């Protein structure tokens, strides 16, 4: 028991790590004087609380053995005040840094969840490793490397297995539409430095962008594509941020400013007490004539989630389609602990133009939600038109069929194209 109380005392050292801010209304001079006293009082109170908690755990034989006890107490103390904190070991933090640095493999697959089923291939990028291996849209993924995929396996895991490992060679188990299974060899390539993995002109006058993450240069890349499509008179654009992450927060204004009036505030970055750190204004030239659909899912996080929040909350707006995002739109800062582990903390909060706030807990709610039932919905497939002799299919009919073929296996994308077609049918004109 004596050892336990010593351990509790060691845990009290977190009071020195804890940052105490004086009340915002207090004058700066008074705050500087009061802060040390507040810190001392808080450290004393924390020590008393930790000692009491340690005693309770010892008396009821609930304490883990050895060094695990200190780690458990310290992490529990931090989590009690910051429920969204993430704790990682050194290896886990290094792996996270590598992933966020965009050093991953490229396969060329777009995977989507299917309710009560295996992950489904929604699209295969042309000239990609997956295309070379013969994987087709609509097929299901049964195995990735040495990992068996079963019904209910989290899509996050399956996507991760596609991108992890030290060698380019990867075996993928695939189930075709006729329920026959096969194994194909996929020769992966390293992802290009570009944040964009796909730029595509869809039928019916739509542009499609898929971003693996928001990294350095992403803002200029995305903005250039949007400008090109605006000039070409596209019906609208679709920005696919499903499974995307990234750390380049500074890239966000270059994209978001395209959809708000000049002089408007894109977003504010505040500390966790609501004190403003930075206010980011819109750029010089908004493109009001290009509706934007933003696709997100449960794995959209980091700078990509931040971008979705800003776009969805901008004055001119963009429509967010999909599932509620990961709930981590803030860039987390790793804080080292005396136990050798790290606490990943969201020390800031985002306030978008529509007044919504994000502080590391709770994701971006889509404007158009994709429920479980929608993932397996039957796609309306009209019969091929019976053409009279000498007649040909109209361009509009051809575009409609091509668009249905492209989106048949991707509910998210189909929803986005339906919205844009609906705007067209209503005669929507977003010209300034």
The predicted structure's pLDDT at residue 78: 84
The partner residues of 124 in beta bridges, in order of sequence, read: 109
Neighbours of 268 (CB within 10 A): 17
Instruction: Give the Cα separation of 276 and 249 in Å (integer).
Output: 17
Range name among 70-74, 186-190, 297-301, 339-343 with the lowest pLDDT average: 70-74
Residue of 250, 248, 263, 239 whose CA lies nearest to 315:
263
**What is the band of 322 on the pLDDT scale with cuts at 50, 70, 90?**
very high
Report the chain's terminal Cα–Cα distance, integer Å: 73
pLDDT by residue (tens digit) across 200-211?
899 888 999 998
pLDDT of residue 206: 92
Mean pLDDT of the chain: 77
Q: Residues 167-176: pLDDT tens digits?
A: 888 899 999 8
Q: Does pLDDT of 360 surpass 80? A: no
Q: Decide: residue 362, CB within 10 A, 0-12 exposed, 13-18 middle, 19+ buried.
A: middle
Q: Rounded CA gap, 20 and 36, in Å?
A: 9
Q: Which residue has the higher pLDDT, 340 or 114?
A: 340
Query: What is the per-residue pLDDT across 383-432, written as a single tens digit (0 to 9) for each?
Result: 444 445 555 667 778 888 888 888 888 889 999 999 998 888 777 655 44
- Six-digit token pair at 303? 């700078």
Over residues 46-56, the pLDDT tens digits come to: 778 777 777 77
Query: What confidence tier does 25 reach under pLDDT thresholds 50, 70, 90?
Result: very low
Task: Convert the pLDDT of each residue in 134-151 to its tens digit.
Answer: 999 888 999 998 888 888
| 30/52 Cα distance (integer angstroms) | 33
Q: How confident is the model at residue 251 (pLDDT cuts 50, 70, 90)?
A: confident
SS (H, E, C) the chain: CHHHHHHHHHHCCHHHHCCCCCCCCCCHHHHHHHHHHHHHHHHHHHHHHHHHHHHHHHHCCCCCCCCHHHHHHHHHHHHHHCCCCEEECHHHHHHHHHHHCCCCEECCEEEECCCCCCCEEEEECCCCHHHHCCCCCCCEEEEECCEECCCCCCHHHHHHHHHCCCCCEEEEEEECCCCCEEEEEEECEECCCCCEEEEEEECCCEEEEEECEECCCHHHHHHHHHHHHHHCCCCEEEEECCCCEECCHHHHHHHHHHHCCCCCEEEEEEECCCCEEEEEECCCCCCCCCCEEEEECCCCCHHHHHHHHHHHCCCCCCEEEECCCCCCCCCCEEEECCCCCEEEECCEEEEECCCCEECCCCCCCCCEECCHHHHCCCCCCCCCCCCCCCCCCCHHHHHHHHHHHHHCCCHHHHHHHHHHHHHHHCCCCCCC
For residue 406, give the nearest of 181, 238, 179 by alpha carbon: 238
pLDDT in tens, 78-107: 888 777 788 888 887 777 666 655 456 788
Neighbours of 255 (CB within 10 A): 26
**Would you state the structure tokens that stand for residue 343, as one six-digit string?**
């606490």
Residue 410: how many other CB atoms lie within 10 Å: 24
pLDDT of residue 98: 63
How far, in Å, CA of 152 to CA of 166, rounded? Answer: 27
The token pair at 229 is 């499509």
Sorted by where each starts, the structural domains of the chain and their CATH numbers stand as: 2-81 (no CATH), 105-190 (2.30.42.10), 196-330+353-425 (3.90.226.10)
Please check the confidence at residue 45 and state whether its pLDDT lies above 70. yes
Chain segment 220-241, per-residue pLDDT in tens: 888 888 888 888 888 899 999 9
What is residue 47's predicted lDDT score, i.e. its pLDDT?
A: 78
Q: What is the pLDDT of residue 376?
A: 56
pLDDT at position 276:
76
CB atoms under 10 Å from CB of 276, counted, come to 10
* pLDDT the model gives residue 288: 56
Phi-psi region for residue 210, left (φ > 0), alpha (ψ -120 to 50) or beta? beta
Give the model's confidence band at 115: pLDDT under 50 very low, under 70 low, under 90 confident, else very high. Answer: low
∠ CA(424), CA(425), CA(428), 5° rounding?
Answer: 50
Task: Identify the CA nearest to 137 among candidates 169, 181, 187, 176.
Answer: 176
Distance CA 68, CA 15 (A): 20
Token couple for 145: 């490397």
Are 158 and 216 in contact by the 8 Å Cβ rule? The answer is no
């Amino acid at each position: 028991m004596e050892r336990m109380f010593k351990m509790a005392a060691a845990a009290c050292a977190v009071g020195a790590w804890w940052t105490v801010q004086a009340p915002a209304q207090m004058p700066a001079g008074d705050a500087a004087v009061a802060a040390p006293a507040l810190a001392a009082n808080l450290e004393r109170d924390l020590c008393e609380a930790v000692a009491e908690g340690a005693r309770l755990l010892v008396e009821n034989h609930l304490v883990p053995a050895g060094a695990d006890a200190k780690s458990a107490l310290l992490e529990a103390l931090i989590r009690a005040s910051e429920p969204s904190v993430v704790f990682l070991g050194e290896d886990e933090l290094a792996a996270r840094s590598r992933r966020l640095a965009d050093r991953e493999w490229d396969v060329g697959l777009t995977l989507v969840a299917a309710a009560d089923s295996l992950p489904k291939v929604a699209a295969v990028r042309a000239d990609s490793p997956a295309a070379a291996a013969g994987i087709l849209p609509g097929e299901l993924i049964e195995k990735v490397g040495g990992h068996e995929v079963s019904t209910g396996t989290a899509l996050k895991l399956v996507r991760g297995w596609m991108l992890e490992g030290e060698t380019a060679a990867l075996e993928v188990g695939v189930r075709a539409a006729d329920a026959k299974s096969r194994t194909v060899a996929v020769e992966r390539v390293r992802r290009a430095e570009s944040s964009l993995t796909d730029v595509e002109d869809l039928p019916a006058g739509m542009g499609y962008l898929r971003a693996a993450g928001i990294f350095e240069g992403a803002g200029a890349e995305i903005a250039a594509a949007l400008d090109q499509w605006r000039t070409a008179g596209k019906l609208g654009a679709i920005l696919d941020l499903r499974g995307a992450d990234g750390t380049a927060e500074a890239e966000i204004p270059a994209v978001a400013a395209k959809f708000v009036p000049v002089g408007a505030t894109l977003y504010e970055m505040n500390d966790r007490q609501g004190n403003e750190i930075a206010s980011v204004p819109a750029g010089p030239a908004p493109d009001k004539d290009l509706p934007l659909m933003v696709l997100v899912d449960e794995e959209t996080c980091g700078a990509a989630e931040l971008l979705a929040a800003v776009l969805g909350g901008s004055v001119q707006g963009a429509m967010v389609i999909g599932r509620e995002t990961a709930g981590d739109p803030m860039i987390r800062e790793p804080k080292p602990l005396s136990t050798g582990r790290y606490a990943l903390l969201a020390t800031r909060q985002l306030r978008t133009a529509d007044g919504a706030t994000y502080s590391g807990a709770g994701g971006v709610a889509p404007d158009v939600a994709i429920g479980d039932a929608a993932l397996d919905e039957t796609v309306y497939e009209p019969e091929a038109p019976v053409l009279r002799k000498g007649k040909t299919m109209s361009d509009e009919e051809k575009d409609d069929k091509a668009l249905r073929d492209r989106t048949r296996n991707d509910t998210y994308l189909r929803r986005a194209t339906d919205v844009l077609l609906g705007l067209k049918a209503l005669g929507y004109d977003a010209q300034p």
